[in-house]
Amino acid sequence: MEKANGLLWEVSLWEFAFVTVILAGGAAYMTGRAVARAWQPKYQLVINILLLACATRFIHFALFNGTLLSLHYYIVDLIVLLIIAFLAHRFTRTGQIARQYSFLFRRTSPLSWEKKESAGA
């Protein structure tokens, strides 16, 4: 099969969606959730996703004859995984803040919270 390189995927859209979005995206979601639940800093999340993007490139290479050392497709995979991981981190952190500090904050959306108005002031 001849490679049909695109801007976002190297071999096919199906391969990109399956490996990067579904498999590695699920791992990125769980990583973002774990970092938020452990109250670790965001740089820890970035380090983990950098390594996960390397593993994702290897899966593309080993299973679908993709290029192992392609900076362009590594960056594409990295951006997709970082978006998923940071959304999961923010979603989890919003739940934590609204649940653990319910006397100070309330959830305004799945990804945000705001300070409650003090009733006595």
pTM for this prediction: 0.86
pLDDT value at position 71? Answer: 92
Cβ(96)–Cβ(112) below 8 Å: no
Each of the 121 residues of the chain gets a pLDDT tens digit; together they read 445 567 777 778 889 899 999 999 999 999 999 999 999 999 999 999 999 999 999 999 999 888 888 899 999 999 999 999 999 999 999 999 989 888 888 888 988 888 988 755 5
CB hemisphere CA count around 60 (13 angstroms): 29
Instruction: Classify residue 65 as left (phi > 0), alpha (psi -120 to 50) or beta.
Output: left
